Amino acid sequence: MNEIKIFAPATVANISCGFDVLGCCLDGIGDEMIIRKSSKKGVRITKIIGEKLPLETENNVAGVAALALLNKLNKEIDFGFEIEIYKNIKPGSGVGSSAASAAGTVFAINKLLDEPFSILELVEFSREGERLACGSPIADNVAPALFGGFTLVKSTNPLEVIQLPTLPDLYVVIIHPQIEIKTSDSRAVLPTTISLEIATRQWANLGSLVHALHVENYELFSASLVDFIVEPHRSKLIPDFDKVKEASVQAGALGCGISGSGPSMFAFCKGNQVADNVSNAISEVYQRTQIPYHVYTSKINTQGVKII
Amino acid sequence: MNEIKIFAPATVANISCGFDVLGCCLDGIGDEMIIRKSSKKGVRITKIIGEKLPLETENNVAGVAALALLNKLNKEIDFGFEIEIYKNIKPGSGVGSSAASAAGTVFAINKLLDEPFSILELVEFSREGERLACGSPIADNVAPALFGGFTLVKSTNPLEVIQLPTLPDLYVVIIHPQIEIKTSDSRAVLPTTISLEIATRQWANLGSLVHALHVENYELFSASLVDFIVEPHRSKLIPDFDKVKEASVQAGALGCGISGSGPSMFAFCKGNQVADNVSNAISEVYQRTQIPYHVYTSKINTQGVKII
């Protein structure tokens, strides 16, 4: 195999009660990438379509992740890799654009090298792309992008990722308002300290959400999708967040929250009929604003990056 | 049925990463109680053996829990109840002494009335005993005492309790130093605020502990038994806590922490051979002190209060 074409999925991180640890992988939104062996050693980004992003390997998340992988390879190879990126996920949208590029790249190169690395190692390499993108080697988007389904980042140092079960009939509706929230702003609104009592309620919900996934209890999953800590602050940066949330729940969503650090919002739904209703309901909210937006509906992607 | 004799189990609350929400039920430690119908209406504590505790119904946790149950009964009954309590669990030991008395009482009265109430309702009544004992209607001991196994108190208002699976070969070793820690002291050392970063690590561990119980992964269960928040403060009130913890882990324990608000400490072990080793190791630590202590070993009690 000399060339591989893949689907690099979008992901939702910071799922409500699971700030910084809980993410899931999407099917309906993602980039496409072609990675091929080349006779020239090293890693080159040869094409980026759809977004204006750096082509220099060291300045591109895909390039940096690829280099991290190759640095850990314990044998000399006499060829290199070319990467073509067809972006559908807008950087800064809150659904893991940089994670998709990084995860897709290392997945593909690992395949082309006959899989010397485990999925967890691929997450480790992809985090180097995240370090370039946001200054910190976060794993909560790259983990679900590579493992698929729901993942819990138990620890970042050392990296420990748990693959959680998913609910079979679960859909995610994403609304992406076409606005920019600066990373510095979304960080600045975060509290640095929180009350022990509120923290206790948050971890009770995360525990019960994990249980709900195991026992396939949609009602408990819904009741656990609560964020007492981050959402009250970050939601102020997103126009009409409260209206979107209310409309989605009224249309039958199991819960709604901020995807990553926004501005995208997610709504979990049981079944595609409810997802359609929720998609319409939250679109209506944004039609009343002057803000352009995109809405996507997706099943949970239990596989992660896929060969296409 | 006019009389019922029961085993009212001790419980471990505040299990490491599950402060205020996660508890489990023990088999090897508990009180015995006899509850019988009497022709005289109302509730009377007729005997308490083993500890000096109030006999007046309204001043006794068992009495208060019984009254809470009878107040919710939607029919008139022309008889009352007598309660005999044979205490083995020392009040203030940190293994749910008041919870055992309250839970045992409402379990038995519910049986004698042909079970008009659900287990969750019994937890609700028992919390009134806890309110008398500690000023707050906490549920994290009465929930495992009544449900058995591991329980997660998802919410206290409204009360929501999740019964978690248990690990089949799990043992708990308890060491109870015969010292008194004032509730006011164990509360005073608690931080009122914590850093978001530490809280995040705590809920990652609670999520992974719940997952570990579901997939029967002892290693992950062990790795999740970490408390960054409460233990560093409360452990200072318990003589030689660090030595007990170190000795238990060196002897093979999966993890060790403070039971409830102490002074008892728990150590989880896989298999009874390891439990024996841990029991010996932590006994040795306390033999070197001048402090009297008791050590107990128990399997997880998956049934809760039992008829004997």
pLDDT averaged over 10-residue windows placed end to end, chain A, 308 residues:
96 97 96 97 95 94 97 92 96 94 98 97 96 91 98 96 98 96 87 96 98 98 97 96 98 98 97 98 96 97 97
- Tell me how far apart the alpha carbons of residues A238 and A220 are, in angstroms, rounded to a whole number: 27
Among B20, B21, B199, beta carbon nearest to A194: B199
Residue B7: predicted pLDDT: 98
Question: Searching chain A, which residue's CA lies closest to the CA of residue B215?
Answer: A214
Which residue carries 């190791």 as its tokens?
Answer: B281
**Distance between the two ends of chain B, CA-based, in angstroms?**
14
For chain B, how are helix, strand and coil distributed in percent, rounded to 5?
Answer: 40, 30, 30
- Does residue A188 sit at the B interface (CB-CB below 8 Å)? no
**pLDDT score recorded for residue B135:** 87
* CA B22 to each of CA A181, A196, B129, B238: distance values in angstroms, whole numbers, following the listed order: 38, 15, 19, 21
Token pair 């923290």 in the structure block, residue: A199
Say which of A21, A223, A229 has its CB closest to residue B204. Answer: A21
Number of CB pairs < 8 Å for A and B? Answer: 118
Question: Three-state DSSP class for B36?
Answer: strand
Report yes or no: A41 at the B interface, CB cutoff 8 Å. no
Cα–Cα dist A124/A113, whole Å: 17
Q: CB distance B154–A207 less than 8 Å?
A: yes
> Is 3.30.230.10 the CATH number for A3-163+303-307?
yes
Q: Which of A200, A221, A234 to mutate to test the interface with B (most CBs of B within 10 A)?
A: A200
The answer to whether the beta carbons of residues B186 and B230 sit under 8 Å apart is no
Residues of B in contact with A166 (CB under 8 A): none
Architecture of domain B3-164: 2-Layer Sandwich (3.30)
Mutate: best of B140, B160, B194, B203, partner A, most A CBs <10 A = B203
Asked whether the beta carbons of B194 and A196 are under 8 A apart, the reply is yes
Structure tokens at A150: 């729901």
DSSP H or E run through A255: strand A255-258
B209 touches chain A (CB under 8 A): yes
Helix (H) or strand (E) holding B45: strand B42-49
Q: For residue A126, what pLDDT is reported?
A: 97
Decide if B141 contacts B99 (C-beta within 8 A). Answer: yes
Residues of B in contact with A143 (CB under 8 A): none
A18 touches chain B (CB under 8 A): yes
Catalytic residue among B32, B124, B128, B130: B130
Return all residues near B149 (Cβ < 8 A) that are at least 6 apart. Answer: B24, B25, B163, B164, B165, B166, B300, B301, B302, B304
Say how far apart CA B205 and CA A193 lie, in whole Å.
19
Residue B170, SS3?
strand
Q: What is the pLDDT of residue A183?
A: 77
Most B CBs within 10 A among A195, A208, A213, hence the mutation to make, goes to A208
Nearest CA in chain A to B14: A200
pLDDT score at B187: 87
Query: Pick from A191, A195, A203: which is nearest to B202 by CB?
Result: A203
Secondary structure (3-state) at A237: helix
CA distance B185 to A139: 40
β partners of residue A160: A155
Q: Which residues in chain A touch residue B154, judged by CB atoms under 8 angstroms apart?
A: 204-205, 207-208, 223-224
How far apart, in whole angstroms, are the C-alpha atoms of residue B114 and residue A231? Answer: 46
CA distance B215 to chain A (A): 9
Residues of chain B with pLDDT under 70: none
Instruction: For residue B204, give the chain A residue with the closest CA.
Output: A154
Inform me whether the C-beta atom of residue B195 falls under 8 Å from chain A C-beta atoms: yes
3-state secondary structure at position B123: helix
Angle at A274 between CA A272 and CA A280, to 5 degrees: 100
CATH of domain B170-299: 3.30.70.890
Which residues of chain A have a CB within 8 Å of the CB of B210?
Answer: 207, 210-211, 214
Q: How, if at all, do strands B150-156 and B159-164 pair?
A: antiparallel
Cα nearest neighbour of A206 on chain B = B207
Name all contacts of B278-283 with Cβ < 8 Å and 24+ positions apart: B278/B173, B278/B247, B278/B248, B278/B251, B278/B252, B278/B253, B279/B173, B280/B251, B281/B247, B281/B248, B281/B250, B281/B251, B282/B173, B282/B175, B282/B244, B282/B247, B282/B248, B282/B251, B283/B175
pLDDT given at position B74? 85
B142 touches B102 (CB < 8 A)? yes
Residues of A in contact with B225 (CB under 8 A): none
Taking the CA of residue B192 and the nearest CA in chain A, the distance in Å comes to 5
**Nearest to A105, CA basis, from A33, A56, A172, A159:** A33
Looking at residue B134, its amino acid is C
**Start-end of H helices in chain A:** 61-72, 97-112, 119-134, 142-147, 183-188, 196-215, 218-224, 231-234, 241-250, 272-287
User: How do B80-86 and B42-49 pair as beta strands?
Assistant: parallel
Binary contact (A200, B154; C-beta < 8 A): no
Residue B201 to residue A155, Cβ atoms within 8 A: yes
Tell me how close the Cα of B83 comes to any Cα of chain A, in angstroms.
35
Residue with tokens 């039609």: A287
Tokens of A250: 């009224």
* Residues A199, B204: C-beta atoms closer than 8 Å: no
Phi, psi values for residue A92, rounded to 5°: 80, 10
CATH 3.30.230.10 domain locations along chain A: 3-163+303-307
Torsion, Cα of B284, B288, B289, B294 (10° steps): 20
- For A19, the token pair is 């700030």
Under 8 Å CB-to-CB from B284, ≥6 apart: which residues?
B247
Q: How far is A37 from chain B (nearest CA, A)?
A: 39
Q: What token pair was written down for B306?
A: 């039992």
pLDDT on residue A182: 82
User: What is the DSSP annotation of A48-106?
Assistant: EESS----SGGGSHHHHHHHHHHHH-SS--S-EEEEEEE--SPTTSSS-HHHHHHHHHH
For residue B235, the model assigns a pLDDT of 96
